[in-house]
Amino acid sequence: MAGTMTMLPARRGLRVVGDVHGDAEGFRAALATDRFVIQLGDLVDSGPDSAGALRLALAMVAEGRGLFLLGNHDHKLGRALSGRGVTIGPELATTLAGLDHELRAQAAEAIGAAPLWLRAGRMVFVHGGFHTAMLDHPAPRGLAGRAEGPVARALYGEPTGRTQPDGYPERSLAWVDRIPAGFTVYCGHDRRSRDGRPWICPGVAGGTAVFVDTGAGKGGHLSWIDLPPPII
């Protein structure tokens, strides 16, 4: 587990940024900080400037100012860039069309190195949802392995197997009740907010989930949360 913790600089405050989805302008505003940025995945698709969002994320990582976790949209883009078989829908097609040759190569490399989750003391950062294995196991990176168990949870949350009226998969929040007491999980993926602010959801075991996706690139806006330096 220590390997995933050492990515965070000591004695430095954190900024946790929700799903960007091509909102490069909002992401640029989020990066205007001296805090270390943890972006929770889904940099691309939906919004107007996925290429710009990727360039900002690549510069952030290269300059040591932050990291991004792997979201399901980033994962699919990485698979497409690596030549693996994926269904390319309209959103992904638009994203791919906006990437020049150099950015494609840089994005493929960065996505291949992105962790699927990060634990820092009693905080867990992940895109989709929490799995108890995230407390004890180092996060795999990029496209490695099959999307099952904690990897599937990190990317997709906890689907019920049913489809919502809007055509998207229905997702359960039962995993929130498995967060141990005293732990907080910061995640994106599900736009649960009803007031434009991150949504805080307590679990029955005493843990808490904080949903930071407030609809950037999808008619909403980009949200972030500032935290003190983690106690590791």
More confident residue, 87 or 125: 125
Per-residue pLDDT tens for 8-32? 888 899 999 999 999 999 999 999 9
Angle in degrees, CA 155, 159, 164, rounded to 5: 120
Per-residue pLDDT tens for 76-120? 999 999 888 788 999 999 999 999 999 999 999 999 999 999 999
- Give the Cβ contact number of residue 65 at 10 Å: 16
CA 95 to each of CA 40, 51, 69, 100: distance values in angstroms, whole numbers, following the listed order: 19, 7, 19, 11
CA 1 to each of CA 41, 182, 193: distance values in angstroms, whole numbers, following the listed order: 20, 18, 31
Look at 33-47, 73-87, 207-221 and tell me which has the smallest mean pLDDT: 73-87
Q: Which structural domain, as residue segments, surrounds residue 146?
A: 11-220
Q: pTM of the prediction?
A: 0.93
Residue 70 included in any domain: yes
Rg (alpha carbons) of the chain, rounded to whole number: 16
Q: Which amino acid is at 52?
A: G
What's the whole-number mean pLDDT along residues 34-50? 96
Residue 2 included in any domain: no
- The conformation of residue 230, written as its DSSP 8-state character, comes to P
Residue 132 included in any domain: yes
Is the pLDDT at 142 greater than 90? The verdict is no
Residue 33 included in any domain: yes
86-104 burial: b if 16+ Cβ within 10 Å, else e: eeeeebbebbbebbeeebb
Residue 55 included in any domain: yes
User: Do 18 and 216 meet the contact criterion of CB atoms below 8 Å apart?
Assistant: yes
The sign one gets for the Cα dihedral 105, 77, 60, 126 is negative
Given the DSSP bridges, would you call strands 36-39 and 199-202 parallel, antiparallel or unpaired?
unpaired
Residue 20 included in any domain: yes
Number of domains in the chain: 1
Residue 230 included in any domain: no
Q: What is the CATH number of the domain that holds 197?
A: 3.60.21.10
More confident residue, 87 or 167: 87
Residue 231 included in any domain: no
